Structure 1
Amino acid sequence: MAKITYIEHNGRRHEIEVPNGMTAMEGARDNGVPGIEADCGGACACSTCHAYVAPEWLDRLPPADAMEADMLDFAWQPDPKHSRLTCQIKVTEALDGLVLHLPERQI
């Protein structure tokens, strides 16, 4: 299990314990974190689970694959370095403490 902090655009923080094997998107969705819409349910087909990864976590996540990188083009104000789709971040013990900043809105 990993504790993930989701920070809304307005600064409100949500610290959620997410079981290993789930995605960061599922952790947010299942705990009612505003700002993660997840319209496609985690199929990497909509970009409505977009988040900005805190700088100290960038090197600890596996890189986005080609499909995720393509979908990020449709996200609200993607940042080439910090943007990820939370449906593609698989939770492990190594992600304990992960911080994700949510955009002002999802598309």
Structure 2
Amino acid sequence: MVKVTFIEQDGTRREIEAKEGDPLMYSAKDAGIAGIIAECGGSAMCATCHCYLLEAPNGPLPEMEPAEEDTIEFTANAPTERSRLTCQIVVDARCEDAVFEVATGR
């Protein structure tokens, strides 16, 4: 398991354990992270798992694929260079101690 921190919309910091090999969205949703809605179930179509990557102390996370970039480009939640869809981040050792701020509903 990999420890990841989410900052929810109200500022609450929640550390969760994420299962290696699974999309980060699954662990966030299972842990009840407020704002991770995951309407499309992980197909990079809805951006209801949009977060901002604030810290990645164990190296850069895998680069975005075109589908993730396209979805983020059209999200209503102020996309930035730190934007990621948690459904598209497969948990591995690089995610250990990463910090994400939930963007949904901004």
TM-score (norm 1): 0.89
Q: Which runs of 5+ in 2 are unaligned?
A: none
CA distance in 2, matches of 1:36, 1:104: 7
Q: Distance in 1 between matches of 2:68 and 2:33?
A: 22
Aligned to 2:92: 92
Query: 1:29-75 deviations in whole A, cap 9, x for unaligned?
Result: 11111111100011111111100001x42951111111110000232
User: What does residue 34 of structure 2 align with?
Assistant: 34
**Contact 1:16–1:31 (CA under 8 A) maintained in structure 2:** yes
Superposition misfits of 4+ residues, deviation over 6 angstroms? none
TM superposition shift of 1:104: 5.5
CA distance in 2 between counterparts of 1:94 and 1:28 reads 17
Task: Report what 2:20 is aligned to.
Answer: 20
Q: Which letter does structure 2 place at the counterpart of 1:22?
A: D
Question: What percent of counterpart residues are identical?
Answer: 40
* Paired position in structure 1 for 2:9: 9
Give distance in 1, aligned partners of 2:43 and 2:50: 13
Are the aligned partners of 2:2 and 2:92 in contact in 1 as well (CA < 8 Å)? Answer: yes
Partner of 1:77 in structure 2? 78
> For residues 69 and 17 of structure 2, what CA distance do their matches in structure 1 show?
27
Measured on the aligned residues, the alpha-carbon RMSD in Å equals 1.6
TM-score, normalised relative to structure 2: 0.90
- In structure 1, list runs of 5 or more residues that go unmatched: none
Q: Pairwise mapping of residues 55-66 of structure 1 onto structure 2 (< 5 A)?
A: 56-57=55-56, 60-66=60-66
